[in-house]
Structure 1
Amino acid sequence: MELELRHLRTVRAIADAGSLTRAATALGLAQPALSAQLKRIERALGGPLFERHRHGVRATALGELVLDHARVLLPAVAELQQEATRFAHAPRHTPRLRIGGTHGPLLGALLDRLAQAAPGIDVTTRTSWSERELADLLAEGRLDYALTGTCGSAPPPGPDRLTWREIAVDPVCVMLADDHPLAHTDPIELAELAGQEWACVPGDSCFADCFTAACARAGFTPRRLYETDTASCVHLAQVGRAVGLCRATFPSTPGITVRPLAGTPLTWRHLLGWHPATQHPDTAAQVLAQARAAHPTLATSRP
């Protein structure tokens, strides 16, 4: 016999009543029927649950164990039923979007536009340095949309069944301390920075390899590339320890000058991804349109 919730209710009723007679009355059963049911439950659980005495019944050690679990499980199941009923009969549900993203201001700009366009929508976010992790979360259905990117013409991350659409392409720029000798050069030849150390944010794309290849084409090998968080990249650039690599949408920051590289040797493609089997085409088109509208607003506001 498989143990069921009704069996736990029976055991709890016997314990609460203190006797089979009173429990049978409370359950609306004949006492012989309740006694037979209790014996089946005890066989399923491997031993007696109650000891009989002249004043009624008392739980055995095994009975106390079962009762401890019943006192947790039965209220939890009742609460689940109530919550499910309320949810099923609610007049309408608030739409929800789960959006993931890597570093950068574009995620914030997209969230702002979505809040303006659809103030009733419930948006939750998740950030990660890993483009592959975000793609895996899309594939597993744990995210609705992912805002990430690739270096140059590299393929999007994750399995082929995901849909990716280009939002925009940013040139990769350099951030320098305001007093850097090249801070007033516009644009800067990559070769002019041959003796510098470098800083960029981490990721699992091919960006670091593409940067090394661009330096090789310019005739040098970078001395060191620090991969660290955005605030540390900014600090290293501000104190002149390293030249930071950033996108054109990098926000204005005190003590930092952002300059383009001559010939645009590196680019970054902003991408929006989703799983076509779980997202309605109209919703995907609206989110993509908002992302594409957010990018030029950021780009034109940066010197």
Structure 2
Amino acid sequence: MEIEVRHLRALCAIADTGSLHRAARQLGLAQPSLSTQLRRIEEEVGGALFLRARTGCRPTPLGRLVLSRARPLVADMSALVAEARAAAVAGPQPRIGSTASRALAGWLRRLRHAQHEPSLHMDVSPNALLRMVAHGHLDVAFVHEVEGHPLRIPEVLRVRVLMHREPQFVSLPADHPAAGKTVVDLNDLADDRWMVDPAVDGEWDGVHRMLRAAGLNPPVLHGDYHTAASLVATGQVVTVCQPTSLSRPETAVRRLHGDPLGVRLLVAARSDTDLDDVYPALEDAYWETARESVVYHQWLQQHLGRGSLTRAG
């Protein structure tokens, strides 16, 4: 007997309902049929998956192990069926991957207005997203490439550059002495702890090179974006951030003097057609987000010129 998705779905139903009778009713089966099916599954895996008692069915240790693997498979299959049904009605919808960006909300909104219903896969690793596009698991990826740390772009991909060099700003506590400045020098932050996310391709190397070039060797903590935001807000660290980030009551986003760290923003797909379907919406969303950040908007006007911002409003 080969175990199929329907068998895994039956195991999940038994565990969820705690009863062969209720699980059979949920699955639309006769209880004897479900009992026979369970017995054959247990013979296949080589052990009992449930303890049967008058009070119901409880997973055995082996059952818990099998269920831990079965549940995500059943969920993935349900998602696949739902996605396929939606595609059959409306046509294939874009599968988008992205690293963190404030432009995402506007991008997805524009695609939905154009009668797309994209799926979204987030990952801190640009290289991982590019591999997913190359292998056909995603249609498009919007990623960033940290200066000095080139991404490994598979040869099969087509790439468009949204920003050749987006300067990275700094997020610091609102009551930090340097928060009163429009432009912050790295030496103003010499006594601060920094936080970086080492899981982001190139981020630690980029920040380390930036600090070393300034002659600084501060304590560096490792953490994700959410942790960094919390620690900045409580005055414990400073961190590099995207220039589209917005200041909040507890935090201030400022430009770094000389723009010592930058990233390149890329969009990758397996064909120009895939890029054409989603790139204009992303471009519009990015410039909309850039205008919302006063500091970044001013930087763009200074470095790209007012004419370069005309198409973005």
Q: Structures share a fold, TM > 0.5?
A: yes
**Equivalent residue of 1:289, what SS?**
helix
- The SS at the match of 1:114 is helix
Q: Distance in 1 between matches of 2:90 and 2:175?
A: 55
TM-score (norm 1): 0.64
2:10 aligned residue: none
Matches within 5 A, 1:124-135: 124-135=119-130
| Distance in 1 separating the partners of 2:269 and 2:285 | 18
How far off its partner does 1:283 sit?
4.1
Which residue of the partner structure matches residue 218 of structure 1? Answer: 214
Q: Taking structure 2 as the reference length, what is the TM-score of the superposition?
A: 0.62
Contact preservation (8 Å) 2:97, 2:140: yes
**Which residues of 2 match residues 29-44 of structure 1 at below 5 A?**
none
| Residue number in structure 2 paired with 1:149 | 144
Correspondence for 1:115: 112
Counterpart CA distance in 2 for 1:245 and 1:220 is 15
Query: What one-letter code is carried by the residue in structure 2 that aligns with 1:275?
Result: R
1:196 alignment partner in structure 2: 192
Alignment of structure 1 residues 62-77 onto 2, 5 Å? none
Is the CA contact 1:107–1:147 (under 8 Å) kept in the aligned structure 2?
no
User: Which has more radius of gyration?
Assistant: 1
The partner residue of 2:169 within 156, 173, 191 is 173
1:294 counterpart SS class:
helix
Asked if 1 retains the 8 angstrom alpha-carbon contact of 2:146 and 2:262, the reply is yes
2:96 pairs with 1:99: yes
How much does 1:231 deviate? 2.1
Determine the C-alpha separation between the residues in 2 that align with 1:219 and 1:144.
Answer: 43
Taking only aligned residues, the RMSD between alpha carbons, in angstroms, comes to 2.4
Partner of 1:298, secondary structure, is: helix
- CA shift, 1:235, in A, is 1.0
1:192 CA drift (Å): 1.9
Moved over 4 A (4+): none
Give the SS at the match of 1:260: strand
Rounded Cα–Cα distance in structure 2 between residues aligned with 1:197 and 1:139: 38
Q: How many corresponding residue pairs?
A: 213
Q: Deviations over 1:158-188 (max 9, x none)?
A: 4222222111232111111111111111211
TM-fit CA distance, 1:252: 3.7
Amino acid aligned to 1:101: S
Q: 1:100 touches 1:147 (CA, 8 Å); kept in 2?
A: yes
Q: Alpha-carbon deviation of 1:111?
A: 0.8
Query: 1:181–1:138: structure 2 CA closer, same or farther, 3 Å change rule?
Result: same
Q: Is contact 2:268–2:275 with CA below 8 Å preserved after alignment? A: no
Tell me the amino acid that sits aligned with residue 226 of structure 1. Answer: H
Q: Distance in 1 between matches of 2:246 and 2:110?
A: 18
* Structure 2 segments unaligned to the other structure (5+ residues): 1-35, 42-80, 295-313
Q: Are the structure 2 counterparts of residues 110 and 264 from structure 1 closer, same or farther at C-alpha, using a change threshold of 3 Å?
A: same
- Counterpart for residue 272 of structure 1: 267
Is the aligned partner of 1:295 residue 2:301? no
Tell me the secondary structure at the aligned position of residue 182 of structure 1: helix
Partner Cα distance (2:198, 2:283) in 1: 24
Q: 1:160 to 1:153 in 2, by over 3 A?
A: farther
Q: Counterpart of 1:187 in structure 2: which amino acid? A: V
Query: Could you say which residue in structure 2 is the equivalent of 1:30?
Result: none
Higher relative helix content: 2
